[in-house]
């Protein structure tokens, strides 16, 4: 079975999507439509902008989404039998399997980025990567720390990202090292994504998601929140709202996709982060980049 996976924030690079724009009439049309919807020329920043400009929250998330979705739409023989996306990438996956229209997906991603930015400004918060510890040890350490700090991204065995209040994350990093972590390092992010700190953003995004039309997908999406195959539009909607404050179960999603018959994982979008993680989750998994 063909599985297509879509990357999240952090995969962006200067020049992303430029070749698509120059070589495909459909891609050019979709990029120009995106400029119109967003109210600024995101293509200028994607194709020519600095790394700093690309890192702006209002740019990063729509840019990664656009690169992934437009690339998927220009692929020959694009017939996914299962899809999944890492965090933001779940929105790309939902356009790829027909749950969301291109326009609605872009509007939601833009609203999500701005809502998350606002939530980041309320309380000092951050994320940290923990390498070389079992998931259950990371969970136990987080639970033992005063303040808000939780597992946020289960990326692959031995690589988990934690998220929360800055002071609690710093304390947790020290405790992780004491528990035997190879590394526990603070990440250069705007705030504590996939943690209770995103509650204001979740409330704001929930209203936008509720007001958006979701169709029955052409194939199941393995959602971050459950790591299971979901084909019911109402359930997809519910899980997408929970996603902002819940952990990304990427390891579990990939394992479940393999158990359900995935034979080839193709990463669609900027970078090769997900194929790298998939190969760490299962050394036998066949991977490709679109």
Catalytic sites, residue numbers? 87, 194
Can you tell me the distance from the alpha carbon of 271 to that of 63, in angstroms, rounded to the nearest whole number? 13
Alpha-helical segments (H) within 121-165 = 135-144
Q: Which of 27, 8, 11 is nearest to 109 (CA)?
A: 8
Q: Beta-carbon neighbour count of residue 51 at 10 Å? A: 9
Output the CA–CA distances (angstroms, integers) from residue 243 to 24, 148, 208, 237, 238, in the order listed.
Answer: 33, 17, 14, 10, 9
Q: How far apart are CA 138 and CA 269, in angstroms?
A: 30
* Contact indicator for 206, 241 with CB cutoff of 8 Å: yes
Cα(59)–Cα(237) distance, integer angstroms: 24
What is the rounded (10 degree) CA torsion for 220, 106, 270, 126?
Answer: -100
């Amino acid at each position: 079975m063909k599985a297509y996976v879509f990357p999240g924030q952090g995969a962006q690079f200067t020049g992303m999507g430029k070749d698509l724009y120059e070589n495909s009439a459909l891609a050019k049309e979709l990029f120009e439509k995106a400029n119109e919807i967003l109210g600024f020329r995101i293509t200028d920043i994607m194709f020519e902008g600095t790394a700093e400009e690309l890192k702006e929250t209002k740019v990063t998330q729509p840019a990664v989404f656009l690169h992934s979705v437009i690339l998927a739409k220009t692929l020959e023989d694009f017939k996914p039998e299962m899809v999944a996306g890492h965090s933001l990438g779940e929105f790309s996956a939902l356009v790829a399997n027909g749950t969301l229209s291109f326009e609605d997906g872009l509007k939601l991603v833009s609203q999500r980025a701005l809502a998350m930015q606002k939530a980041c400004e309320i309380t000092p918060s951050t994320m940290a990567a923990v390498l070389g510890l079992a998931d259950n040890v990371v969970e136990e350490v987080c639970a033992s720390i005063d303040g808000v700090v939780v597992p946020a991204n289960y990326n692959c065995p031995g690589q988990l990202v934690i998220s929360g209040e800055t002071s609690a994350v710093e304390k947790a990093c020290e405790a992780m090292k004491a528990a035997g972590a190879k590394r526990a390092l603070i990440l250069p992010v705007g705030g504590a994504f996939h943690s209770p700190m995103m509650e204001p953003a979740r409330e704001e995004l929930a209203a936008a998601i509720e007001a958006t039309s979701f169709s029955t997908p052409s194939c199941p999406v393995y959602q971050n929140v459950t790591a299971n195959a979901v084909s019911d539009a109402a359930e997809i909607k519910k899980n997408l709202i929970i996603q902002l404050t819940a952990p990304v179960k990427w390891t579990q999603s990939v394992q479940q996709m393999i158990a359900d018959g995935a034979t080839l994982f193709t990463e669609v979008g900027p970078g090769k982060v997900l194929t790298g993680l998939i190969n760490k989750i299962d050394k036998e998994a066949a991977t490709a980049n679109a």
